[in-house]
Structure 1
């Protein structure tokens, strides 16, 4: 596939609670920020998902995500992603609905990351809400590989509460950095074998540089996956 005029990365969002002209998504590192990937970004809201902050894969919502993805392609999207890692639960249905690459969640990276590090090492998955993070988020069939994945969440934090508000306020990056930093610090204390970090939450990339400095570990997120998609089609 060759690049074409007005080619963009399409981002599916279930966040209908944003105010017009909101500053959300403009932070350095945010997936919606054009400067993050050095590639144009366009967004579409999936109708009927208001208030579904952590989608559980309800088939009722599939139509909204599929139609939004198709609108993105009509607008010039040459690849599709999303602003919520939990939307991996819609990966298959969205990928089947369009003729462009689809990566709905950074969790698609997990099988690769597990195989990139020594068998004695572990991967830390940092999530917006570990209570909503079920086994269906982890596509590892080998029990030995699954045992090398540890999960930590920031539920109850300021960012967690802010994301439940309608409309959600601008991201408090300092608070997020403190909460995500505390989470990975706890996980590393319990699991010193951690060799890499994967952010489930598509909001966390804004603090990725800080977490790399804190841990001196590789940190992967949805922007890592989107960069790969864009590089393959530019």
Structure 2
């Protein structure tokens, strides 16, 4: 059965954010910070959905997928007209959750890959991800892209990034220096471009990376796109 679509008047413009279960701060620009969006937003944490449970090659456990779907339904019932998430690895369940809901769903910046590749005339696109080894071909295909058209750079070996965002919740940093984090992220992006100079744009998989998008544009000389850019497809009032 198709989902029941809400009445337009019953759905004021707002965004629902599905969040991993983490303890690090969501600084301005992070996809898990409601102030990062152009519309009012609210967050629902999915209990037990830690970084190691989601940042992996493959789908989350069925119980976690159900947890994300249930949280999304709750957000829609509260008026959300768009569902986003804090982790781009949820691309593996993007279609499934979108099919279950009556509003647009955008779980990953990777959803932008086909559009960005069209924007750059079919040239290769770079992906900056939390973990390159974990971002398998299935995730790229789930985004509607071909693995051979994508060049991937990861942050899994960057100490501050990995200790803050990729560790189990009880070992994550409760605070971090954004300037130090930006330096690590920019070095990873520069390495990606040096290794694959043919890339014409960069898509950010990770919801923790949008705070550094402007710096990434400066150091790489490429346009940079994130889930926040995609969310703006839903217009404001």
- Which category describes the TM-score, using the shorter chain as reference length? 0.7 to 0.9
- Cα 1:180–1:44 change in 2 (3 A) is same
Distance 2:177 2:46 in 1: 25
- Cα 1:184–1:129 change in 2 (3 A) is same
The answer on whether the counterparts of 2:12 and 2:81 sit within 8 Å (CA) in structure 1 is no
Residue 13 of structure 1 corresponds to 19
Distance 1:210 1:99 in 2: 36
Once the two structures are superposed, residues 119-159 of structure 1 have per-residue CA deviations (whole angstroms, 9 ceiling, x without a partner) of 4x32110000011110011128999x542310010102211
The answer on whether the counterparts of 2:128 and 2:152 sit within 8 Å (CA) in structure 1 is yes
Does residue 166 of structure 1 match 2:166?
no
* Length-normalised TM-score, structure 1: 0.85
Give the alignment of 1:215-226 within 5 angstroms: 215-226=220-231
The answer on whether the counterparts of 2:54 and 2:90 sit within 8 Å (CA) in structure 1 is no
Q: Which runs of 5 or more structure 2 residues have no equivalent in the other structure?
A: 1-6
Distance 1:54 1:135 in 2: 14
- Cα 1:140–1:47 change in 2 (3 A) is closer
The answer on whether the counterparts of 1:124 and 1:152 sit within 8 Å (CA) in structure 2 is yes
The answer on whether the counterparts of 2:30 and 2:211 sit within 8 Å (CA) in structure 1 is yes
> Mean Cα displacement is larger for which, 47-56 or 76-85?
47-56
- Cα 1:140–1:99 change in 2 (3 A) is closer
Residue 131 of structure 1 corresponds to 133
The answer on whether the counterparts of 2:16 and 2:42 sit within 8 Å (CA) in structure 1 is yes
Which of 89, 95, 102 lines up with 2:105 in the alignment? Answer: 102
* Length-normalised TM-score, structure 2: 0.84
> Mean Cα displacement is larger for which, 133-142 or 55-64?
133-142
> Mean Cα displacement is larger for which, 194-203 or 50-59?
50-59
Distance 1:66 1:140 in 2: 18
Once the two structures are superposed, residues 21-58 of structure 1 have per-residue CA deviations (whole angstroms, 9 ceiling, x without a partner) of x7x22x23222334432211101122342452515313
The answer on whether the counterparts of 1:159 and 1:171 sit within 8 Å (CA) in structure 2 is no
> Mean Cα displacement is larger for which, 102-111 or 180-189?
180-189
Give the alignment of 1:71-150 within 5 angstroms: 71-119=74-122, 121-139=123-141, 146-150=147-151
Q: Which runs of 5 or more structure 1 residues have no equivalent in the other structure?
A: none
State the Cα RMSD in Å: 2.5
Distance 1:2 1:101 in 2: 13
- Deviation, structure 1 residue 220: 0.3
Paired residues in the alignment total: 224
- Deviation, structure 1 residue 202: 0.7
Distance 2:71 2:77 in 1: 10
